[in-house]
Structure 1
């Protein structure tokens, strides 16, 4: 897959006269009330003041104004980007995304980003530098259609940051570190996006495993790819049942990263890898089924996270597990009324073959636990119910450990990803019981997002566990902020 790469650097004051395609200057509403900032030619300052006076540009996050410089500055254009929300790195990420879209419109390849010292002082430099790099990179990363004439993504090759006037060494270090970290995080997100947007005929379970193997080779991870025969030997009844209806056999993908060999804590990251979901015998409605290429969004998120881990090499231990399968109807497909024996020995009555994600994830949790994971986060495009409840702006979570759940919610908040916690009361668990087996995979007509999550939690074996349902947020139909649309037109 083609990777979008932007070189982020901190620019020293003496290099400020080097030519670039555009200068980006972030401006707050308060700054607009003051006389023109340092370094602006009088003509440009006057144009900005007129735009502000006419309320065409208010300095609000998401607003941009672009002017040609006509040779008055060492750049072809100057771009003013509004920035509200004092010291809020999330607002800076949004403002950077708006700036990136404006840079794309003028086909800029290189840019200098300027922040006044007063504005920069409001931020934690490391968090803000990361948000800036993420906003600029992610807003440019569009889905590329597959057409006879090859499509190309606009690339911003380099971004140089200036704090005006020149900042002290400690501030420079913080912003530079943030820029580098943000670039790495953004690349991981872009990798996950590209995987999620791949058509189902291109991304089968076996092909997804090959991408994981490429990633493992690039970062020297240990990897296991469990095929259908080994899965049968290991008792992965859930994975095999879901994949049985397809000619593309399932795979259980396991990646090992040991960054802290002396520590006993091992994170299990489990991502749903259903590369296409028809619903199986419980067939989905036809309209919108093409969106089910995104049903491996959880797997893509886990692989994107592993790319980031490979770049940063943190002192943690991680076992990443991806149960990959196609859920197809055929004469071999599993069907309502079947009883499956799962990898941990529990039996499951199948009441709906379209509730397949929780079945493969259950074997995924057992796989992670048997390989040493002792705290688990699973990520899945699991239920339509979470979309009905939260729309496509917020992910839902169910957990058995409130402390771990809160840590995940706070991490999401820092990354600009909103997560809402659902209750996990004992009364809900009673609805999972089956008269024919230990559990049923569906059946109660209410609280679908909670029930799907709690089914997975039955396989956590009492270890700290958090489930993230990203069915609404993994694949957006309309672009917003740093999230271009994920749905083919």
Structure 2
């Protein structure tokens, strides 16, 4: 789908499948309000009558579609409610509502009419940020899981969307900001859609080897350096966590490393590590059958890292990144890791495996060590690590554990700009003591209490005291019901947050 901002008299450029106008509750209450954008007096009157009858109020994200019955060249006008002074989240949500509305109309070409108060951004939202938010909301709101069917996939209905300032030529001064925002928003949304599609892919079509091939293709497309360590190379480097988790599967594990160097003279190197369990049965500590099909999402952290690298590869910011994806399939078999086994990780630390379903932290341990050995100076790991995080935060916020307040605040602010809320959990030393083991340096589970925190602190042990943030997307990576710009299934959570870290918006 192409996005653009165009100029001219919107009344003379209405040959589209739908025109979108933005309204506010306060605006609709005004006498003689141009409720349908002033496109036609009869349409304005129709919307005012809807309000008087209590059928439409113009509340944020509230939609109403009016057939134009020949009054305009376009067949429909879609009214979308907005807050009087919308922030980026409000604009992103409104654009996602537009996506839902025009999808139901099977519209291929739409025009979104921007009143002056919206064109300039809104409260605390500059024009470029407004354009980025709206393009993200529109593209992500349209995206849905691609089903594998005999008849193939239907082409997305919407082909183009033009943002048209209602002030016409007077808005030319904002053209550069809007064009930059639309471009950036399109790139960000593309990275999220890529992450969603990877996460939604069935486990039989995305094994560790296939995920490694996907990363190699991504690297080739974006001119990134890529290395893939197979099971023999992993054994040579002592990756006992990765190999232990993967040993029960017929599909061997892989350690994927992508390198991006945008600032050769800068000694700061981000280490992004994404959990890549392509399917998680729980291993010998087998999960319940009900809902296990959703465990294709256990590589949501890997997808977020790869999606963010897709964005970085297109924007080319002045930053250095080592992106690491430890990927394995956690299966029960006669070769599988057993509760009570002791493994030696790449760092040399030994781990008593209390529960084989706490496997993500084992592969991430080797992932952090890999990132550090390749020069990372500050670390962020992203993982569908625990179900416990949903008990605390539901599917709304991502849980975080960190050893560095400054880095934690930087990551939190990036999430806030992206509309992806992050909530830091405490990391008191007493929680770490829950991981003490009689059989090894540590055990991989600290008990039922504070499971998200102890899981995060297990990973943090392997940060070797470098600045580190752990992001638990166990609740936010997958939705059983769509909302806003996040569809049912994979959400691509933390893709845009990571990209914001690499290329902060202004």
> TM-score of the superposition, structure 1-length normalised?
0.96
Aligned equivalent of 1:11: 6
The alpha-carbon deviation at position 39 of structure 1 amounts to 3.9
How far the C-alpha of 1:163 sits from its partner, in A, is: 1.8
Q: Give the Cα separation in 1 of the matches to 2:465 and 2:446.
A: 24
CA distance in 1, matches of 2:422, 2:150: 40
- SS of equivalent residue, structure 1 residue 431: helix
Query: Is 1:400 aligned to residue 403 of structure 2?
Result: yes
Q: Does 1:157 align with 2:159?
A: yes
Say whether 1:433 aligns with 2:436.
Answer: yes
2:18 aligned residue: 22
Per-residue deviation at 1:146? 1.6
Which 4+ residue blocks in structure 1 deviate beyond 6 angstroms? none
1-structure distance, mates of 2:52, 2:376: 59
149-158 or 128-137, larger mean C-alpha shift: 149-158
Tell whether the 8 Å contact from 2:165 to 2:171 is kept in structure 1 after alignment: no
Q: Which residue of structure 2 aligns with residue 49 of structure 1? A: 48
Distance in 2, Cα, partners of 1:204 & 1:119: 46
Alpha-carbon spacing, 1:207–1:443, altered in 2? closer, same or farther (3 Å): same
Structure 1 position 443, deviation (Å): 3.5
Kept in 2: contact 1:27–1:82 (CA 8 A): yes
Secondary structure (helix, strand or coil) at the match of 2:462 reads coil
Q: CA deviation at 1:444?
A: 2.0
2:100 is matched with 101
Map 1:248-267 → 2, pairs under 5 A: 248-267=251-270
**1:68-110 C-alpha deviation (Å, 9 max, x unpaired):** 2233223221111000151311011111111110000000111
Secondary structure at the aligned position of 1:430 is classed as helix
Deviation at 1:29, TM superposition (A): 1.3
Matches within 5 A, 1:360-375: 360-375=363-378
CA offsets 1:396-422 (integer angstroms, 9 cap, x no match)? 000011111111111111111111110
Distance 1:110 1:62 in 2: 21
Matches of 1:453 and 1:443, distance apart in 2? 11
Pairwise CA distance, 1:149: 2.3
Partner of 1:436, secondary structure, is coil
> Is the Cα contact below 8 Å between 1:126 and 1:178 reproduced in 2?
yes
Tell me how large the CA RMSD over aligned residues is.
1.3
Among 439, 464, 471, the alignment partner of 2:474 is 471
Match of 1:124 in 2: 126
Alignment correspondent of 1:305: 308
Instruction: Answer yes or no: is the 8 Å Cα contact 1:140–1:155 preserved in 2.
Output: no
Separation in 1, partners of 2:290, 2:128: 45
Residues 151-197 of structure 1: CA deviation (Å, up to 9, x unaligned): 32533211111122124433222122111111110000000000000
Alignment partners' CA distance in 2, 1:235 and 1:298: 23
Partner of 1:271: 274
Match for 1:146 among 145, 148, 163? Answer: 148
The structure 2 residue matched to 1:341, chosen from 340, 344, 352, is 344
Aligned to 1:3: none
Pick from 277, 291, 301 the counterpart of residue 288 of structure 1: 291
In the TM superposition, what is the alpha-carbon distance from 1:324 to its structure 2 partner? 0.3
Once the two structures are superposed, what CA deviation does each residue of 1:26-65 show, in whole Å capped at 9, x if it has no partner?
1111221233436411111111111122222211112111
Between the aligned partners of 1:12 and 1:287, the Cα distance in structure 2 is 54
1:240 to 240, 243, 248: 243
Partner of 2:79: 80
Question: 1:260 & 1:139 partners in 2: Cα distance?
Answer: 34
Structure-2 residue corresponding to 1:31: 27
What pairs with 1:209-220 in structure 2 (closer than 5 Å)?
209-220=212-223
Query: Taking structure 2 as the reference length, what is the TM-score of the superposition?
Result: 0.93
Alignment-derived partner of residue 208 in structure 1: 211
Query: What does residue 420 of structure 1 align with?
Result: 423
Q: Distance in 2 between matches of 1:367 and 1:170?
A: 48
Matched-pair contact (CA < 8 Å) for 2:145–2:489:
yes
Aligned to 1:381: 384
Aligned pairs, number = 482
Is the Cα contact below 8 Å between 2:24 and 2:58 reproduced in 1?
Answer: yes
Q: What is the 5 A alignment of 1:439-454?
A: 439-454=442-457
Pairwise CA distance, 1:14: 4.8
Q: Classify the secondary structure of the residue corresponding to 2:356.
A: coil
8 Å Cα contact 2:273/2:380 also seen in 1: yes
- SS of equivalent to 2:380: strand
Partner of 2:297, secondary structure, is helix
Which deviates further from its counterpart, 122-131 or 150-159? Answer: 150-159
Equivalent in the alignment of 1:314: 317
Structure 1, 34-43 or 366-375: larger mean CA deviation:
34-43
Q: Which moved more, 1:110-119 or 1:229-238?
A: 110-119
Structure 2 runs not aligned, ≥5 long: 491-506
8 Å Cα contact 2:20/2:110 also seen in 1:
yes
- Within 2, Cα distance between the matches of 1:425 and 1:342? 24
